[in-house]
Structure 1
Amino acid sequence: MLPLVVYRDHVYTESATTLEGADALALRGAKLGTTSGGIHELSSKDDYKELASTIGEADIYAVKGYDTDFRVMSYTEIDGQVYAQLFDKTNDMTISGGAELEERLYGKEDRKLIYLTLEDKTTVALVLFGEEGLVRYGHVPVFFEVEQGAFQKFWNSLGK
């Protein structure tokens, strides 16, 4: 089961964007609450209450530079060591266009995984699908189409 947190009646799942504990304090915003745990594989819909989670007890904060309607973070210090994790709300997203993709993409070898480090020192994992010129972020079953010329030039620069 994916790590998740319930906040404002929405499920935030473990982000494909990561950060080092040492960089987390600079991104930590206002405290939003403390999770209670309690969610597991056999949980019912009624168990998904405010600040329930699969991560046990942890303080949840806003993330500076991000809207809490999209991203929150857990932040814990134990013996001077910082543990932080980002969570994204990917349900209730509206996609303005595009056709359904067949599962044929997942059977192909023609894909590459890249990691981008942003100015805020978070690292984003993206999956590139070469032949189609598509990009997937995280666990969201949505693909973004990139302008073919730019995508192909970038793809070719990556090597194998």
Structure 2
Amino acid sequence: MNKNDYKRVFDSMEPDERFEQRLAQNLAKKGRSEAMGRNRRMLLYISASLAVVACAWILLITNLGGSTSNPDPVAPNPPDQTVAEGAVFLPKLELPKETNAAMDMIGLFVYQGRIYTQTSTRIPPEAAQAILGEKVGRTKGNIDEWSSQEEYAKELASSIGEQDIFTVKGYDSDFRLMTYQVEGGQVWSEFYECLNGISVSSGADVFQKLKVMGNEQSVSWESYDSWNESKKQYQEIALDETYQQFLQALYEAEPIEANKLNGIYDKGAESMKFLLITLKDQTQVHVSLHQGGYVRYVPAGVFFKVNDSAFAALWDIMK
């Protein structure tokens, strides 16, 4: 993934209010408080631009090693990673040896040698408690521009401050964890997912983790213009044969490394649409659809090439 691809990934995510507040605070600290008066979309673009630098660092495959001065390092990738023919290996994210101010604007934390990052899946506050699992720890708010490697490579090091981390009922903790807290009677929760250090052979390797198939409550779609302007003008899609054939084709779809399709974002507004799949547990899975049969779920670093006829049948409904 190159810098432009990372910018687009972060543009496609919709940070919550606390994320924006943290961003504004960091900009102010750097003497750029004038940016706080800009509109929300501009704020997200500033976030994305700064995040590019940090993400580029994150994906540098640095060997953190097993230094005794670093008791809980992030485990390195296996030296000889075997990938099946047709599969895509998503490298294990590793924290860099040096960091900067942009790092603490990326929502991530370290747990049991894995790095979990912010995801595009959401859940309404009133539904979050029902899937709240067991507490596994509390993050350290220790990743900032002054951090040393010894500080930020430890277990539960994070860029999200001090927050309690929980498992999520119904989901593998190797894949998804969540934060949950109540402030002033208001619930704040967010999912963090680990979609790195794995081999992806088909769409099923990602969407089975999300528990999509057979678990849908409703499905709706949104145009690029609605998404780009945060209008949230969703239109419902029937859970009929057309949708079911599309989903089956998505599970069987071939993975393609995201950096091989960077130009897909430059084809204009009519070439991109978005699906919002609400599951029975009220989790809301967001995926982007791209003309030509390509589907992507952020933050996975792959596109999936869906069978042409199954994709076209669903695409034609979204008008």
TM-score by length of 1: 0.90
Match of 1:85 in 2: 190
Distance in 2 (CA, whole Å) between partners of 1:127 and 1:63 is 24
Q: Is the 8 A contact 1:58 1:74 kept in 2?
A: yes
Q: Is the 8 A contact 1:13 1:88 kept in 2?
A: yes
Structure 1 44/118 Cα, relative in aligned 2: closer, same or farther at 3 Å?
farther
Distance in 2 (CA, whole Å) between partners of 1:77 and 1:32 is 18
Match of 1:107 in 2: 266
More helix by share: 2
For residues 82-141 of structure 1, the C-alpha deviation after alignment (integer angstroms, 9 at most, x for no partner) is: 11000000111202364542321121221112211111101111010112x011001222
Instruction: Give the 3-state SS of the residue equivalent to 1:139 in structure 2.
Output: coil
- The higher radius of gyration belongs to 2
1:16-95 matches, cutoff 5 A: 16-40=120-144, 43=147, 45-46=149-150, 47-95=152-200
What's the CA shift for 1:8? 0.7
- Count of matched residue pairs: 158
Instruction: Give the 3-state SS of the residue equivalent to 1:77 in structure 2.
Output: strand
Gaps of 5+ in 1: none
Distance in 2 (CA, whole Å) between partners of 1:123 and 1:41 is 33
1:146 aligns to 2:250 (yes or no): no
After the TM superposition, which of the residue ranges 113-122 and 60-69 deviates more from structure 2? 113-122
Counterpart amino acid of residue 134 in structure 2: A
Q: Is the 8 A contact 2:256 2:305 kept in 1?
A: no
Gaps of 5+ in 2: 1-104, 202-253
Instruction: Give the 3-state SS of the residue equivalent to 2:170 in structure 1.
Output: coil
Q: Is the 8 A contact 2:295 2:303 kept in 1?
A: yes
- Kindly report the root-mean-square deviation, in angstroms, between the aligned alpha carbons of the 2 structures: 1.7
Counterpart amino acid of residue 10 in structure 1: R
TM-score by length of 2: 0.47
Match of 2:112 in 1: 8
User: How much identity, in percent, do the aligned residues show?
Assistant: 41
Q: Is the 8 A contact 1:39 1:53 kept in 2?
A: yes
Counterpart amino acid of residue 290 in structure 2: F
What's the CA shift for 1:150? 1.3
Match of 2:282 in 1: 121
Counterpart amino acid of residue 86 in structure 1: F
For residues 14-65 of structure 1, the C-alpha deviation after alignment (integer angstroms, 9 at most, x for no partner) is: 0110011111100101111111111136655541321111111111000011
